[in-house]
Amino acid sequence: MYLADQTWPELSDYVAEESLAVVPLGSTEQHGPHLPLSTDHTIAEGLAREATDRTDFLCTPTVNVGVSVHHKQFHGTMWADAPEFRDYVESFSRNLAYHGIDRIVFVNAHGGNQTHLREVGRRLREDEVAYAVEWMWDESIPQLVNDLFEHNGPHGGPKETAMMMHLDPENVKTDELEAARDGGLVEWSNEEASVHGARDFYDSIDNTDNGVLGDQTDATPEKGARLFDAASDQLVQLLEWLDDRRFEDLMAKPHVEPKPGSRRER
Amino acid sequence: MYLADQTWPELSDYVAEESLAVVPLGSTEQHGPHLPLSTDHTIAEGLAREATDRTDFLCTPTVNVGVSVHHKQFHGTMWADAPEFRDYVESFSRNLAYHGIDRIVFVNAHGGNQTHLREVGRRLREDEVAYAVEWMWDESIPQLVNDLFEHNGPHGGPKETAMMMHLDPENVKTDELEAARDGGLVEWSNEEASVHGARDFYDSIDNTDNGVLGDQTDATPEKGARLFDAASDQLVQLLEWLDDRRFEDLMAKPHVEPKPGSRRER
Amino acid sequence: MYLADQTWPELSDYVAEESLAVVPLGSTEQHGPHLPLSTDHTIAEGLAREATDRTDFLCTPTVNVGVSVHHKQFHGTMWADAPEFRDYVESFSRNLAYHGIDRIVFVNAHGGNQTHLREVGRRLREDEVAYAVEWMWDESIPQLVNDLFEHNGPHGGPKETAMMMHLDPENVKTDELEAARDGGLVEWSNEEASVHGARDFYDSIDNTDNGVLGDQTDATPEKGARLFDAASDQLVQLLEWLDDRRFEDLMAKPHVEPKPGSRRER
Amino acid sequence: MYLADQTWPELSDYVAEESLAVVPLGSTEQHGPHLPLSTDHTIAEGLAREATDRTDFLCTPTVNVGVSVHHKQFHGTMWADAPEFRDYVESFSRNLAYHGIDRIVFVNAHGGNQTHLREVGRRLREDEVAYAVEWMWDESIPQLVNDLFEHNGPHGGPKETAMMMHLDPENVKTDELEAARDGGLVEWSNEEASVHGARDFYDSIDNTDNGVLGDQTDATPEKGARLFDAASDQLVQLLEWLDDRRFEDLMAKPHVEPKPGSRRER
Amino acid sequence: MYLADQTWPELSDYVAEESLAVVPLGSTEQHGPHLPLSTDHTIAEGLAREATDRTDFLCTPTVNVGVSVHHKQFHGTMWADAPEFRDYVESFSRNLAYHGIDRIVFVNAHGGNQTHLREVGRRLREDEVAYAVEWMWDESIPQLVNDLFEHNGPHGGPKETAMMMHLDPENVKTDELEAARDGGLVEWSNEEASVHGARDFYDSIDNTDNGVLGDQTDATPEKGARLFDAASDQLVQLLEWLDDRRFEDLMAKPHVEPKPGSRRER
Amino acid sequence: MYLADQTWPELSDYVAEESLAVVPLGSTEQHGPHLPLSTDHTIAEGLAREATDRTDFLCTPTVNVGVSVHHKQFHGTMWADAPEFRDYVESFSRNLAYHGIDRIVFVNAHGGNQTHLREVGRRLREDEVAYAVEWMWDESIPQLVNDLFEHNGPHGGPKETAMMMHLDPENVKTDELEAARDGGLVEWSNEEASVHGARDFYDSIDNTDNGVLGDQTDATPEKGARLFDAASDQLVQLLEWLDDRRFEDLMAKPHVEPKPGSRRER
């Protein structure tokens, strides 16, 4: 159920009976010569809507601008600085608790948001406001991603290309796939991004000229459909798993024994 | 031109030649029994996209969650607290300057965002980063709004209802218009919202049971189309006016004469 | 009763029995060639002291420097930036609760402080610390203001001039009234301050050369006395109204039915 | 010259020619059974106005509420928390630079403000905005204070009592002087306030029942007049000394030799 | 060269000629029944001192308390919250620039600090204050770690145990190695830490009863010595690599062509 | 007992039975030509470890970098800005409460940290999290310091020199003692640091060329040993005194009578 399309009376049952919300978050940032800047928020929204349509859990509107400063050199990349992004997401997430929401799934399609969403999740949990988890679509189906693509590329590669062919084909430039591959970096290894163990790169332009990695020509709409279905399945299962938990079991475990002060005499 | 649908190379000319961006902002909040919670962000996005399509200025994705705590009692209203909202908007607006944007129109459809967007605009201008103005659609066509509706209602009234009938008819519950009117407050005056000159109300529920004001039965899709066209016209003219200005002329005027320290001897 | 003139034992009864405080806030900013920079804080303090003298409610000292950046181009205007102003006022207001104060009237005579005081008021109310309202003197007697002056001018106009003639005649330059009128803007309309619906002006110097609006020659001490008495009456009534309320009735209403989680099974 | 009593054109010469501002700051806090809560801000304002009247330097309005949490247990004590106080004072002080002010004397009469004003002063100096010094009146005339009183008491004692007898006799309860002495702590030593070298007390109530120290019966208006004159003399001399300095000489000295990077080859 | 053991004149040559500083950071947190809470800061300090002794680059004192909230349930774990940790590290790192330091290696031995140190590094680079990289010792020698241990365990496992046997044998409880292994989790996989792709665990206690992972019985002092030497070698090479760079080449690359505004006419 | 050398199970008894922690804090800053930059944190750590070894109270690792901006002109001085220092110390101190710590002694050897540690202590006490006191070693033994040295010097003088001769003789340059004395300021008075009552100096370089005060040639290791023993004795007594208190007795006293609202009718 998409929250924004409801009137407030239509949400009565959900508010009375349920406690879970799905929040899609992406970015608006360069994705090479073949994909639109919307890529990450389109994917996040697509998956969040699909999984909540299937399950009738609540889906909020999408946060379209995330932490993308590492793509700033490319035309049009938008970004909020990390502290402001975290605080904005924390603020509206925390306020969802007023309507009884105590568990949240951040459906995320931008790697640059991950640590920040986890930090927000920790703050909400420490205050016992909500249990929030960050879910990154491709991390839910690593095997399938590996099976489908030889060089899947962490950014703007065939996995994202295929997803966009499935979700928003009009905005994929299929005649730029070869250029994307040839102007970017096909084989990517963590070693290339580090010097004697230190990650020395800060911006995507440090590694590629056109901003993308992997072999984009390996993408097809059919592969996109498979990815989308498989990831949606995983998300549905996550929502159901989360919905089944008791709130107490989602909160932090207590201090180990002996408890602080338990044998204090004063 | 919608930024998020472009690839980064497609934005080359705009970045090289232009300096204006349009940012739609709304809210996700209760709009009575007949309108979806999306109302404000749907209207802001609709107008921003229309005016930028006509002129080819750049439109960014929409900020869907704003400062709506005054509607919190109604199911599903989302909100960010004011400081976090301001800081998030300021952060990504400020970062647009990296791509040469030095003038921004915040296309806004939520009254609760107004003072905050103006505060953000002032910060950007004081640092000489950008000149940003807040534009609230109905304030651009006050005469037409008055002509079309006897009781237009500042929130969830016939002007917003008509706009949504035009922009997103599927999500307007036309069979709830009478209930909206009868369960809300048809005639609204600023006096009712104040006690001996002090605005004593903080939340919309203080004034209405169902959250809305005005006579919703007066709305029609045709009136919505007229409002949409007229407001779009105003926005187009604003964009052209702003584009014509020199940056220096948009910045703060200098200190009056005599200039500080101008006759100091030391 | 003026708090600062009491010894702490003299406040015993008030602290034990009462719960209301009046806080005057103004600004120190240009008011044209005829009025001193103190104008706003002199008026706020005058009214606050009068109404609390009549009623024996508690009046605190005055905050003399407010949010006046929009007058900065004129010699001597002082201002705190908006976040720091809000936080300072919030901090000492919140601390009043330690002495049992749970309702506060911000007696304000500077338009630039209004949204900020309301934001502070909301924060205090949301934490259920206190119910604070912003009271702007001229908004309590709109009819009388209109009756007395043809062109009352929102800043440095005849209404403020008359008030200062009544409260601090020594510091009013009566031989500058014509210059004030002729060097400023007599007729002011909101339309002049906007372009196609967007408020395009940020500073008072954008509209006037000498910083003031309205027809100052229309001011007399007698009119000032009438304004002062009428506004004081309104303030007294506000204080009594507020004192009569139960704290619970001043706090936010609860979430509408059904209550969040009320039918949750888990 | 008192800033707030001027019109903006009257400040023209000062803004063009001068660069110094005097800012009085005090507190609104308990001063025993005999002195009003205004004591500290009345003294600060009195001295600042006197010294600027004599010299024609600029005096701003007074900050009446400071950092007084350590007196909170006594009825009516007001306070801002330290970070908010610092930020508010820093904000308006920083903004004075827009009018060419590059040196500020914080005329202070409340010990609890001292470290905070020095921290603000450091921030302003590090950014090379202004050179601001904190001036605490009794620290300018330690010998006279010692000569006049056997037990001068750091808070609410005879030195403050005498000053108030001189500045605001109406609000001094002379028939409470003996009670003040007998209910408070006459002899005060730093040792009493510490345990094995750690200052263990946080609040004035930890040391005295009525909040004051010293022998108040030793105060007379004549002693107050002498203190006032002597401290005013010191302040006048400070203002003249400060006015004589070159701005560069007030800023931080450079890094010692050799300068960082001066022999770097890269 | 260890900064803290020098007098300021002894640092003259370094300040004049060099621009690199090494900052060790660790944590004070549980490391199972066999390792002291110092483990992470001991390792970081040991490596930083070794590599700077070999090369004569500057090493600062160690930050001993980091972001360890995920170990809080175990007795004695200390932690700073993430925003405060970031801001403290940023502050003193930024201030190193006053002495000409424009490149910093954060020698880190605590996984929980990584993202925060990278965020600090980004802020320093964006302001063009310094180029700072985070270096995590075991990430510099992944092959050796894998070769030496079958189950190396990311926390409190044999690699940390071996390092501590080499660096601080007195504080390693060798008779607890089996208990450490048997009471913890020997085989660790990322899958166990996630549910359908979402990392669902927040605290180490969620996965292990005694707080540690891997097979600690596989650790020997000899292996520790090899790890220490190999990682020191890597760090030395990193320092030399970094020292060889030009500052400009360490800063962010420019915006891609065409440059923003390059073809603007206005 | 030194926290960092324990395994978590070894802390079980302490966590269950005790409630006191000792936190050493110093600085890394210039101490003249004869003492290392470590001086303050070496002294703080030395005393904290000695007193906790004698008593078996818990000692945490040391905070090595403090608020030392006033020594910045001298090579190698490190510093965190005051707000970041306060927030970092507050954060980890507050988190100690999770393990039952409700009283903390900040063992401090740097004057520049004092007001900040007291501010942190106040915040912790106001939230009733912990009672924290700042203890500065030389303030615990003022008589002995005066007896041992004619010109003890507040910074880098003989008292600190003697302590370092006792604690870390290798890093004291005994052949520089005369140079230290002759290049610095032997006799220091508060009067020299103020102009007409205003403390006009901000940096140590304003008063001395080499950064130090007092007569360093008066220092001996034997005097250092006496200082160390005497201060340790004081600290031990402070810990025992603090341990003996009830938590309630360490918290702020209540509001004086009559209690706020106690006679309110509403």
Summary mean pLDDT of chain F: 96
> Would you call B12 and E262 a contact, using CB atoms and an 8 Å cutoff?
no
Confidence band (pLDDT; 50, 70, 90) for D193?
Answer: confident
> Would you call D16 and B258 a contact, using CB atoms and an 8 Å cutoff?
yes
Confidence band (pLDDT; 50, 70, 90) for C234?
Answer: very high
> Would you call D247 and B255 a contact, using CB atoms and an 8 Å cutoff?
no
Q: Which residue of B has its CA nearest to A16?
A: B75
* C42, B225 contact by CB (below 8 A): no
* Nearest in space to A160 (alpha carbons), one of A145, A147, A170: A145
Q: Is the dihedral of CA C85, C90, C95, C100 positive or negative?
A: positive
Number of residues assigned to chain F? 266
Task: Show which subunits contact C, needing at least 3 CB pairs below 8 angstroms.
Answer: A, B, D, F
* Nearest in space to E87 (alpha carbons), one of B88, F110, F83: F83
> Would you call D69 and F126 a contact, using CB atoms and an 8 Å cutoff?
yes
Query: Could you give the C-alpha distances from D187 to D70, D155, D227, in angstroms and in order?
Result: 20, 12, 21
With a pLDDT cut of 90, the percent of chain F lying above it is 94
pLDDT digits (tens, 9 = 90+) for D45-98: 999 999 999 999 999 999 999 999 999 999 999 999 999 999 999 999 999 999
Q: How many CA atoms lie within 13 A of B5 on its CB side?
A: 11
With a pLDDT cut of 70, the percent of chain E lying above it is 98
- Do B and E touch (≥3 CB pairs < 8 Å)? yes
B5: nearest CB among A5, A9, A36: A36
Residue holding tokens 């009352």? C152
- Do A and D touch (≥3 CB pairs < 8 Å)? no
* A134, A106 contact by CB (below 8 A): yes
* D29, D78 contact by CB (below 8 A): yes
Peptide bond into C142 cis (omega under 30): no
String of DSSP letters for F42-57: HHHHHHHHHHHHHH--
Which of B10 and F207 is assigned the larger pLDDT? B10
> Would you call E247 and D255 a contact, using CB atoms and an 8 Å cutoff?
no
* B213, B207 contact by CB (below 8 A): yes
- Do F and B touch (≥3 CB pairs < 8 Å)? no
Contact status of A246 with chain C (Cβ, < 8 Å): yes
Q: Which residues of F touch A259 (CB under 8 A)?
A: 16
Name residues whose C-beta falls within 8 Å of residue D68's C-beta, 6 or more positions apart in sequence. D27, D28, D29, D77, D78, D79, D110, D112
pLDDT at res. B199? 86
pLDDT at res. D30? 98
Contact status of C250 with chain F (Cβ, < 8 Å): no
Residue holding tokens 């720091």? C84
CA distance E165 to chain A (A): 23
Query: Could you give the C-alpha distances from C124 to A96, A129, C133, C244, in angstroms and in order?
Result: 20, 21, 10, 19
CB atoms within 10 A of CB F150: 12
> Would you call A19 and C266 a contact, using CB atoms and an 8 Å cutoff?
yes
> Would you call E256 and A105 a contact, using CB atoms and an 8 Å cutoff?
no
Q: Which residue of A has its CA nearest to C261?
A: A16
| One-letter amino acid for residue E218 of the chain | D
* C38, D5 contact by CB (below 8 A): yes
> Would you call D95 and C81 a contact, using CB atoms and an 8 Å cutoff?
yes
E19: nearest CB among D258, D259, D261: D261
What would the 3-class secondary structure string for C26-42 be?
A: CCCCCECCCECCCHHHH
Contact status of D61 with chain C (Cβ, < 8 Å): yes
pLDDT at res. A191? 66
Interface test with A, best of C123, C127, C263, C265 (most A CBs within 10 A): C263
> Would you call C12 and F258 a contact, using CB atoms and an 8 Å cutoff?
yes
CA distance D23 to chain C (A): 12
Confidence band (pLDDT; 50, 70, 90) for D191?
Answer: low
pLDDT at res. E187? 87
* A148, A226 contact by CB (below 8 A): yes
F264: nearest CB among C8, C19, C99: C19
F196: nearest CB among D75, D122, D241: D241
Residue holding tokens 């002996």? A258
Q: Is the dihedral of CA C161, C164, C166, C170 positive or negative?
A: negative
The answer to whether residue F190 scores a pLDDT higher than 90 is no
* Nearest in space to D65 (alpha carbons), one of D90, D46, D82, D48: D82
> Would you call B246 and E255 a contact, using CB atoms and an 8 Å cutoff?
no
- Do E and C touch (≥3 CB pairs < 8 Å)? no
* C70, B253 contact by CB (below 8 A): no
Q: Which residues of B touch D13 (CB under 8 A)?
A: 263
Span C228-240, average pLDDT: 98
Name residues whose C-beta falls within 8 Å of residue E12's C-beta, 6 or more positions apart in sequence. D257, D258, F75
Name residues 157-196 of chain E within 8 A of A (Cβ): 194-196
pLDDT digits (tens, 9 = 90+) for D105-151: 999 999 999 999 999 999 999 999 999 999 999 999 999 999 999 99
pLDDT at res. A266? 62
Q: Partners of B35 in the beta sheet? A: B31
String of DSSP letters for B36-66: -TTHHHHHHHHHHHHHHHHH--EEPPPB---
pLDDT at res. D61? 98
Cα F199 to Cα D108: distance, rounded to the nearest angstrom: 12
CA distance F124 to chain D (A): 12
Residue holding tokens 């263990």? D200
> Would you call C260 and A98 a contact, using CB atoms and an 8 Å cutoff?
yes
Cα angle C62, C63, C69; round to 5: 145
Question: For chain B, which residues score pLDDT lower than 50?
Answer: none
Q: Which residues of A touch F17 (CB under 8 A)?
A: 263-265
Peptide bond into D36 cis (omega under 30): no
Selected from 3.20.20.70, 3.30.1490.100, 3.10.580.10, 3.40.50.10310, the CATH number assigned to the domain covering C3-248 reads 3.40.50.10310
Task: Show which subunits contact A, needing at least 3 CB pairs below 8 angstroms.
Answer: B, C, E, F
| One-letter amino acid for residue B216 of the chain | Q
pLDDT at res. D266? 62
Q: Which residues of A touch F12 (CB under 8 A)?
A: 257-258
Task: Show which subunits contact D, needing at least 3 CB pairs below 8 angstroms.
Answer: B, C, E, F
* A140, E198 contact by CB (below 8 A): yes
Interface test with E, best of A23, A72, A194, A202 (most E CBs within 10 A): A202
The answer to whether residue F5 scores a pLDDT higher than 80 is yes
CA distance E152 to chain F (A): 20
pLDDT digits (tens, 9 = 90+) for C157-169: 999 999 999 999 9
Query: Could you give the C-alpha distances from D7 to C212, D144, F57, in angstroms and in order?
Result: 12, 39, 65
* F159, F227 contact by CB (below 8 A): yes
> Would you call B246 and E259 a contact, using CB atoms and an 8 Å cutoff?
no
> What does the block give as tokens for D266?
């890269």
Confidence band (pLDDT; 50, 70, 90) for C28?
Answer: very high
Q: Which residues of B touch D12 (CB under 8 A)?
A: 257-258
> Would you call B18 and E255 a contact, using CB atoms and an 8 Å cutoff?
no
Name residues whose C-beta falls within 8 Å of residue F132's C-beta, 6 or more positions apart in sequence. F93, F103, F104, F105, F106, F117, F120, F121, F124, F125
* F159, F234 contact by CB (below 8 A): no
Contact status of A253 with chain F (Cβ, < 8 Å): no
Q: Which residue of E has its CA nearest to F80?
A: E92
pLDDT digits (tens, 9 = 90+) for E177-214: 999 999 999 987 766 678 999 987 899 999 899 999 99
| pTM to 2 decimal places | 0.98
pLDDT at res. F119? 98
CB atoms within 10 A of CB C91: 20
* A34, A76 contact by CB (below 8 A): no
> Would you call E203 and A256 a contact, using CB atoms and an 8 Å cutoff?
no
pLDDT digits (tens, 9 = 90+) for C84-120: 999 999 999 999 999 999 999 999 999 999 999 999 9
pLDDT at res. E191? 66
Contact status of F205 with chain D (Cβ, < 8 Å): yes
| One-letter amino acid for residue D143 of the chain | Q
E19: nearest CB among D256, D258, D264: D264
String of DSSP letters for E114-175: HHHHHHHHHHHHHTTS-EEEEEEGGGG-HHHHHHH-SS--SSSSHHHHHHHHHH-GGG--GG
Cα B232 to Cα B54: distance, rounded to the nearest angstrom: 9
> Would you call A241 and E196 a contact, using CB atoms and an 8 Å cutoff?
yes
* C201, C213 contact by CB (below 8 A): no
Hey, where are the domains in chain C?
3-248
ipTM above 0.95, yes or no: yes
Confidence band (pLDDT; 50, 70, 90) for A152?
Answer: confident
Cα C177 to Cα B255: distance, rounded to the nearest angstrom: 23
Cα C26 to Cα C34: distance, rounded to the nearest angstrom: 18
Name residues whose C-beta falls within 8 Å of residue E39's C-beta, 6 or more positions apart in sequence. E26, E31, E109, E156, E160, E164
Q: Which residue of D has its CA nearest to F240?
A: D196
CB atoms within 10 A of CB B217: 17
> Would you call A64 and B62 a contact, using CB atoms and an 8 Å cutoff?
yes
> Would you call E260 and B17 a contact, using CB atoms and an 8 Å cutoff?
no
Contact status of F87 with chain D (Cβ, < 8 Å): no
Cα B249 to Cα E262: distance, rounded to the nearest angstrom: 20
Backbone angles phi, psi at E22, to 5 degrees: -110, 125
* Nearest in space to E149 (alpha carbons), one of E79, E223, E235, E53: E223
> Would you call B16 and E265 a contact, using CB atoms and an 8 Å cutoff?
no
Contact status of A84 with chain E (Cβ, < 8 Å): no
Span A49-65, average pLDDT: 98
